Structure 1
Amino acid sequence: MTLLILTGLRREARILAAPGHLVLTGGGDAVALEAAAERGAAAAGGVISIGIAGALAPGLAPGDWVVGRAVREAARETGTDPAWADRLLGRLPGAVAGMVLGRDAMVAEAAEKAALHAATGALAVDMESHVAARVAARHGLPLAVARVVSDAAGRSLPPAARVGMRPDGGTDLPAVLRALAAAPWQLPALIRTGWEAERAFRALLRGHRRAGAGLAAGFPSP
């Protein structure tokens, strides 16, 4: 059986690739990601959503890990496998556990992050965990979520950073440059966002190595 891994970006997928892993990138397209995950679920022994995320809780900084105890999507809440979460917490240094929010659209504004945290109690938000939760629930598969913070709760992403993801999970550099040309004032914020994202990618690489090829000791028992 394979480990079904859902993430957002091609760079994340390259970090997470390993024998026995089926890594799928969403690129912000939840419908296409869910369809691909459905096809992969038949041969899967477990589903994990892992990659970078936006912080919702104050105090989380770029590079910090959040391990999901549950995934929230609108009014629906899906628990993750407790033993799997515990193993991840034991291997990811400094990781905190709590709710992770899944959304189809990027959460880019600090005010929206604060409102979502107040409404849901979620620590972080991403665009793949709710898809992983739905697929795992339909197929009776154990679920895990491990996300590393890229942008802090008090940080709003500049407009150029919001248009930089292609549907295949790659970087749309022409779109970023067009957005930057239209509003050059955002260059310092864009540089800062890139630096913070780099911290997150490096933390993801370190965390993947610490968790091991099986991403925390293989599949847990449902």
Structure 2
Amino acid sequence: MSLDPRPVLIVTGLVQEAKIAAGPGMTVICSSSDPVQLRSLLADIDSTSIRGVISFGVAGGLDPALKTGTVVLATEVVAAGQVWPASEQLSAELLAGSNVGNQTVVRGGLVGVEKVITGQAGKAALRSEFGASAVDMESHIAAEFAALAGLPFAALRVVSDPATRALPEIATTAIKPNGDVDLGKVLRGIARNPMVIRALVSTGRDFNRALRSLKDCRSYLLSRIGMAQAEA
């Protein structure tokens, strides 16, 4: 049986995630954590040119048991009263490499939102309502696109800010249209409120730890997903 030579579409929110995901067998897009921009990017994708869709990046933790760096392989994505199940076959391709690196991998649901959930109370409310493991801003949009196109969908997300930690507001608004961090805006925010420095340091530490875990995932993302194109 011949393998499908078409690439998999990798949907990311930040430029750091997009750079990690890039490789053979993958077409990568970055939303800059902007749902409107992501939908516009997806509207330009020819769904017949890809063989599946994967949401790839960091996420906010909803399950208090999940530490920073934990990999969540989605069983489903829920948002706005809709549920999109993850493809068992595509998820299995990712799960097959889960023994690579030292990261912890769990199966669980994701909640999709249109705005960043910063506070612990907001995370707890989502956990109570949906019982999901993590929350992000891209997976529900990617899942909807895949469903409408009749394509398999999977999501691999690494917990950055755990359920017990709140994000400083400046960390959620200082994103440039290209998905990079607006350092100038961060510095201006610090100048207005120096007390935010400690929270930013903690957030940055968590984010870097999550990116390291995401980089571990890249090795099996390439070996399992990129394999089809390489061998075709």
Provide the TM-score with structure 2 as the length reference. Answer: 0.89
- State the match for 2:113 in structure 1: 103
- State the match for 1:197 in structure 2: 207
The structure 1 segments of at least 4 consecutive aligned residues displaced by more than 3 Å after TM superposition are 213-219
The amino acid across from 1:182 in the alignment is R
3-state DSSP of counterpart to 1:45: coil
Distance 2:181 2:225 in 1: 26
3-state DSSP of counterpart to 1:111: helix
User: Is structure 2 residue 44 aligned with structure 1 residue 39?
Assistant: yes
Task: State the identity %.
Answer: 38
- State the match for 1:13 in structure 2: 18
- State the match for 2:3 in structure 1: none
CA contact (8 A) 1:65 1:92 kept: no
Provide the TM-score with structure 1 as the length reference. Answer: 0.93
Distance 2:193 2:228 in 1: 47
User: How far apart are residue 218 of structure 1 and its match?
Assistant: 4.6
Distance 1:217 1:97 in 2: 23
- State the match for 1:78 in structure 2: 84
CA contact (8 A) 2:24 2:222 kept: no
The size of the alignment, in residue pairs, is 219
Distance 1:216 1:110 in 2: 37
> 5+ residue gaps in structure 1?
none
- State the match for 1:184 in structure 2: 194
Distance 2:228 2:141 in 1: 21
Map residues 82-97 of structure 1 onto 2, 5 A cutoff: 82-93=88-99, 94-97=104-107
Moved more, 167-176 or 123-132: 167-176
Map residues 7-156 of structure 1 onto 2, 5 A cutoff: 7-40=12-45, 41-93=47-99, 94-156=104-166
> 5+ residue gaps in structure 2?
1-5
User: How far apart are residue 163 of structure 1 and its match?
Assistant: 1.9
Distance 1:203 1:132 in 2: 22
The amino acid across from 1:49 in the alignment is S
Q: Deviation per CA, 1:191-210, whole angstroms, max 9, x where unpaired?
A: 11101100000100111113
Map residues 198-213 of structure 1 onto 2, 5 A cutoff: 198-213=208-223
